[in-house]
Structure 1
Amino acid sequence: MKNDIETRIQLAQKTVSDAEYILVGGGAGLSAAAGIEYSGKRFIENFAPFIEKYGLTDMYSSGFYSFPTQEERWAYWAKHIFVNRYEPSSTPLYRELYEWVKDKKYFVITTNVDSQFEKAGFSTNKIFEVQGNYGYLQCSKGCHDTLYDNEKLVKSMVQKTVNCKISTELVPKCPVCGGDVDPHLRINQYFVQDKSWYQSNKAYNDFLKESEGKKIVYLEMGIGFNTPGIIRYPFEQMTYHNEKAMLIRLNREHPEGAKENRNKTIAFTENMQDVVVGIKK
């Protein structure tokens, strides 16, 4: 296969056109390519007071920072959730991607927690957010399996943050056990998998069963090696076991794949927006 991008785009166009099913796998690199970056200028512009006070370096590592008090912790997390979940509208990259797949039988599995797929128009019953969603809170010890919408609280905390702190009365507590709460993110063994999570998991498995052995494109976008067992490795395995399948991988840093799939993989390291637009034409 020639390495020329136009050749690869043309091949991807034909592959997508011929496919009956498309399974989209979205990772952190996809949202970063869409402009929702966790470091650099965007981080500095939004978190200057926190950077000065705590020496934070980026949003990813800041999520593991041990803040001295819950008032400081939630001042940070409210801002983090706000700038990644509530402030951004749907981004052009996600909208282009939706236009690409909307007329196919599609499904989305994603480790992203920013709701960009939903904002771009993807059907909520065709999205499996495996790792959670910034829009919800849960008991930090998982004492029960209910999630709580946090939009009103987060926006209030952001507005009322003073010197990197919120007032004590704004600190959220679990309504059942009275303990601390966390953003709904898979960070430990207490991650809550509620009824909706299991419904999405079933819908994903139903899609896999329906598309098994069919003409399908596994569209892997921005998947690194933090959690390769969720999307990257399964996509490789399913491509290998289905003679009618093709894997399209968009990944600037990790385009390499299983040698067994060499003739069934179209890899792009170029700008993701340009590739998506090029293939959609």
Structure 2
Amino acid sequence: MAEEIRQEIQKSAQEADLVLVGIGTEFSKKNARKEEIMEAYRKLADLLKGKNYFLLTVNTDDLIFESAIDSERIVAPCGSDKTGNVVTNDDYDESWYMPQWEKYTKWLQGTVNKKVCVLELGVGFEYPTVIRFAFEKIVYFNQKCHMYRIHEKFAQLTPEIKDRTTAVKENAVKLLLEDGADVR
């Protein structure tokens, strides 16, 4: 089944005008080994090659910035462990990510009435307003979207968008790895 889903996602991304990606905590070091995460990011970068895309992450471990994914197309509103500026701090300064957030919202305006492949990878309920609920809203309003929600525990879909979404109850990192390597 994993191979079929990977092929379906690849076809959907290739046929789409734009690709929107959300990365959740299944891609964090507390849920997978760094080597697995980096390999999954490599596969994602290959999938996105040549596409007009944007990526949001709720992870603060900065691994995404070590990957082949274009950092100009990434926004990390929850902060960065390297800088010590993370959303859980009392003195969190969100101004550092705002330039990227502005690029993202401008890019998002260009998705209206376009065929968009939405990939929600390993996103749970840690910060649902950043990715999960926002992506549901995007899919709800843009009838040309198709979303893949991949999560080991929380692959549920809302009834309003169920006809334009595919739920996969599997760990997103594991799904991207061709060999199906185990993750913690």
* TM bucket, shorter chain: 0.7 to 0.9
Is 2:86 aligned against 1:185? yes
Is 2:90 aligned against 1:93? no
Partner of residue 30 from structure 2, selected from 21, 26, 37: 37
Q: 1:116 — aligned with what? A: 63
The one-letter amino acid paired with 1:37 is K
Aligned with 1:202: secondary structure? helix
Tell me how far apart the structure 2 counterparts of residues 7 and 254 of structure 1 sit (CA, whole Å).
20
Partner of residue 17 from structure 1, selected from 14, 17, 25: 14
Report the alpha carbon displacement of residue 135 of structure 1 after superposing the two structures with TM: 1.1
Tell me how far apart the structure 1 counterparts of residues 71 and 3 of structure 2 sit (CA, whole Å).
33
Q: Deviations over 1:223-279 (max 9, x none)?
A: 11121111000101110110110111110100001111111111222343453256x
- Taking structure 1 as the reference length, what is the TM-score of the superposition? 0.58
Q: 1:154 — aligned with what? A: none
Q: 1:245 to 1:89 in 2, by over 3 A?
A: closer
How many residues get paired?
A: 178
Larger radius of gyration: 1
Tell me how far apart the structure 1 counterparts of residues 124 and 108 of structure 2 sit (CA, whole Å).
22
Report the alpha carbon displacement of residue 189 of structure 1 after superposing the two structures with TM: 4.9
Report the alpha carbon displacement of residue 200 of structure 1 after superposing the two structures with TM: 0.8
Tell me how far apart the structure 1 counterparts of residues 7 and 54 of structure 2 sit (CA, whole Å).
23
Q: 2:167 — aligned with what? A: 267
Q: Deviations over 1:169-205 (max 9, x none)?
A: xxxxxxxxxxxxxx211115521123x4121110110
CA RMSD of aligned residues (A): 2.4
Tell me how far apart the structure 2 counterparts of residues 113 and 6 of structure 1 sit (CA, whole Å).
29
Partner of residue 223 from structure 1, selected from 114, 120, 123: 123
Where is the helix percentage greater, Structure 1 or Structure 2? Answer: 1
Report the alpha carbon displacement of residue 13 of structure 1 after superposing the two structures with TM: 3.1
Q: 2:99 — aligned with what? A: 199
Tell me how far apart the structure 1 counterparts of residues 166 and 36 of structure 2 sit (CA, whole Å).
30
Q: 1:208 to 1:227 in 2, by over 3 A?
A: same
- Structure 1: 5+ residue stretches without partners: 43-83, 137-182
Q: Answer yes or no: is the 8 Å Cα contact 1:89–1:119 preserved in 2.
A: no
Q: 1:5 to 1:122 in 2, by over 3 A?
A: closer
Report the alpha carbon displacement of residue 37 of structure 1 after superposing the two structures with TM: 2.1
Q: Answer yes or no: is the 8 Å Cα contact 1:93–1:273 preserved in 2.
A: yes
- Structure 2: 5+ residue stretches without partners: 179-184
